[in-house]
Structure 1
Amino acid sequence: MKQQITIKLKDKSKAEIAAGYPLITKDSLEGAERLQEEGTIINLTDSKGRFVAKAYYGNQNKGAGWVLTRDETENIDQAFIERKLIEALRRRRDLFNNPETTAFRLFNGEGDGFGGVIIDYYDGYFLVSWYSEGVYSFKEDFVAALKNVAEFKGIYEKKRFDTKGQYIEDDDFVAGERGEFPLIVKENGVNYAVYMNDGAMTGIFLDQREVRQAIKEKYAEGKTVLNTFSYTGAFSIAAALGGADKTTSVDLAKRSSAKTIEQFSVNGIDYENQDILVMDVFNYFKYAKRKELKFDIVILDPPSFARSKKYTFSTSKDYTNLMKEAIAITEDKGIIVASTNSASFGMKKFKGFIDRAFKDLGRKYSIVEEHSLPPDFRVDPKFKEGNYLKVLFVKLG
């Protein structure tokens, strides 16, 4: 049995939690110093001791834990987790029945009723990501629940918590049978090579599925495409299969070249006809301007924060300047796919970054398409910051 403790909510937080907000912080609690062991179940009450909600204690970058139920009689146990998983499986039924897409999100934390844990599906394998020691204490219940309610070949995990916020390297295999990697998954008919046993990342960001499909189906044919911060080249693969004349993938990470070559290869594309460059994106912008290179499509999907030898990039401070660099090497009537996964601001502010870049340069533009998270990345309507993805297809005037 989990340790349980009763803590009062501060008056300013009580109404918010009672109305459905799922995240708790230490600032919202009276006597937060009493919280010692992560994973402890917290019975939250108002100032008069009346029950408001039941949460668990788990420190992560967002807060100190998540509300799980507003029913005082409901136990947080394997049966509770099974009910959440069954509902999540029901919501993704169409994806499970789609042979053209075999990788997607099964369980999206607070959006599916249990903050701090996500579960991705990769063609028969589940990958569980834990974001705090508190939620990791529920591991046995989650694994047992998955065994009871879902069919799978194997389960892997990623522990994304420690005191420094760094990924903890470990043997990521949990249960079932071990996979053979790379595992080739499909996304809208496109092949991607993924690894569940090779560090924090698998090789593809599943939240960009609809964006890659749009590039492939509507924009790429006959175009030159620059993919910056390209990681394993997933956008480049989609563009090439959509009929792009040529793709250029640029990323500072040395591993990006081999990974991108692999992604082209598993789709039967001759990677030697594409440009794959390991270099700082900002140095590439200078190179492109010096060589008077221009592209029909430029894809900007930087990490929220990045540092190289010469540059430090922060989305909230530097995206406008990044856009200016992209505008300078984009053809007239070309498209910039501007993307960010920063949860620290909303779509309105993001559009402001784009608008400022064009106004500073005296250029015209129009937004022809916009995206946020796909439906499998379910968002709690009371926790709008959970919808972190913002993507704009910006057409130069």
Structure 2
Amino acid sequence: MKTVTLKERHDKKYKDGYLVVEESDVFDMDNLNEGDLFILKNASEEELGLFYFGRQNRGIGYKVSNDLSVRLTQNYFTDLMKKARLEREPLYRAGHTNAFRIYNGEGDGLGGFTVDNYNGHLLIQWYSKGIYRYQQEVLTALKSVFNYESIYEKLRFEKEVPTYLLTDTPTEFPIIIEENNLFYTINFEDGPMTGIFLDQRDVRNKILSLPLEEGTMLNLFAYSGGFSVAAAKNGMDTTSVDIAKRSLELIEQNFALNELTLDNHFRYTLDVFDMFKYCRRKNLLYDLIVIDPPSFSRSKKRRFSVKSNYHELIEEAAFLTKANGYLLCSTNASDYTLNAFKKMIESTLENQTRDFEFVEVMGLPKDFKTTNLYKPSKYLKVVLIKFLD
């Protein structure tokens, strides 16, 4: 069996069960090909677990087991899928939602890939060439455990994130999914995304229940308008902003699906900071502002990262939120802890001299199963704030 050896005094987190070997912790390793199994050792030659080799971000492999005799066989993947299927039984029985995650990487036992169910159409997302080596085993396991109409895959480790059909009959996209009695269009073949972020299901449901009927909502980084649809169904007038022109069409489709007219629902193709300037000029104020930016982006005008620039979004949004209004701040930056995120929000709003309170903190829905052995698996942080003045 091939081995990877850690630097001295870099083994504590792995002894505690950490699931990803970070390359910066490695002292030496055998010649490994993507997908190879290896034993992780510390500087004293103590064996810390079995991993597979797969480069992803700063990592070089995911933990398979403490049992060094385990192998990534067909039976191994079938057992993983059976356990994952059992965990999602309540969602399969739900009458109002038919799109959710059915396998969530390390949270369900092995990291490096995920599987989503969109009303019977399954999408596998592969994050390294290492786990992709076991594509056929995973596909066979999926087919034996889950009901499906079609199965597709996205190769996240490739620059253009190509999408491929893995079953015989192609699907005619877009398809329609239901979530908490709302409807959205889905297309696996329209770039790296699908039309909705399934991990925000609980947040959309929260917006549906906020006491803001006849209020106004500003949805920044709106994408396909999922938050806007929920707010509109709650009786609010909405304004959706995204720099991508494609978003306008997606938003209009989702409003039509939910029998919502576009009256009093405005859509802008703008950089959000330009939108802030427009709102100030027009003296526009909102009862709810949703901020859900990408972790990193770059445009002709500016470079944005969550850790460096999120506070700028909050400063502008605080100026545009009405008294007793809400600010919903969301990030999927896995290297930004919830505690740090909350502290940044709190210090930014205190500098704005507005009286506020934290109403609720949300994270991933239950189907996005996480594990304490790998904190980045709990990547989604959502904080709902209410202004009291």
Q: Shared fold (TM-score greater than 0.5)?
A: yes
Cα offset, 1:183, TM superposition: 0.9
Give yes or no for contact 2:6–2:28 (8 Å, CA) kept in 1: no
Cα offset, 1:83, TM superposition: 1.0
Superposed, 1:258-337 pairs within 5 Å as 258-337=249-328
Aligned to 2:13: 16
Give yes or no for contact 1:155–1:176 (8 Å, CA) kept in 2: no
Structure-1 separation of matches of 2:18 and 2:168: 36
1:356 aligns with 2:323: no
Structure-2 separation of matches of 1:206 and 1:62: 25
Deviates more, 1:213-222 or 1:335-344: 213-222
Structure-2 separation of matches of 1:232 and 1:220: 22
Give yes or no for contact 1:366–1:396 (8 Å, CA) kept in 2: yes
Aligned to 2:116: 120
AA aligned opposite 1:17: Y
Cα offset, 1:80, TM superposition: 0.8
Structure-1 separation of matches of 2:5 and 2:305: 37
AA aligned opposite 2:282: K
Structure-2 separation of matches of 1:318 and 1:302: 10
Aligned to 2:49: 53
Give yes or no for contact 2:150–2:170 (8 Å, CA) kept in 1: yes
Aligned to 1:110: 106
Aligned to 2:132: 136
Superposed, 1:52-131 pairs within 5 Å as 52-131=48-127
Aligned to 1:395: 386
Cα offset, 1:239, TM superposition: 0.6
Cα offset, 1:115, TM superposition: 0.8
Cα distance per residue 1:56-92 (max 9 Å; x no partner):
1111114111001111222111111111111111111
Unaligned runs of 5+ in 2: none
Structure-2 separation of matches of 1:49 and 1:322: 49
Report percent identity of matched pairs.
37
- How many corresponding residue pairs? 388
- Among candidates 33, 37, 57, match of residue 37 of structure 1: 33
- Among candidates 356, 362, 387, match of residue 365 of structure 1: 356
Structure-2 separation of matches of 1:282 and 1:27: 37
- RMSD over aligned Cα atoms: 1.5
Give yes or no for contact 2:101–2:116 (8 Å, CA) kept in 1: yes
Aligned to 2:365: 374
Cα offset, 1:11, TM superposition: 4.5
Structure-2 separation of matches of 1:180 and 1:300: 33
1:214 aligns with 2:210: no
Moved over 4 A (4+): 46-50
Structure-1 separation of matches of 2:66 and 2:168: 34
Cα distance per residue 1:103-133 (max 9 Å; x no partner):
1111111111111101111110110000111
Unaligned runs of 5+ in 1: none
Structure-2 separation of matches of 1:329 and 1:315: 20
**Secondary structure at 1:193 match in 2:** strand
- Among candidates 23, 37, 60, match of residue 26 of structure 1: 23
Give yes or no for contact 1:220–1:240 (8 Å, CA) kept in 2: no
Structure 1 residues 309 and 30: CA distance shift in structure 2, 3 A:
closer
Cα distance per residue 1:224-243 (max 9 Å; x no partner):
11101100100000111111
Aligned to 1:200: 192
Cα offset, 1:48, TM superposition: 5.3
Cα distance per residue 1:336-376 (max 9 Å; x no partner):
11111111221111111111221212111101111011111
Give yes or no for contact 1:35–1:57 (8 Å, CA) kept in 2: no
AA aligned opposite 1:224: T
Structure-1 separation of matches of 2:238 and 2:73: 50
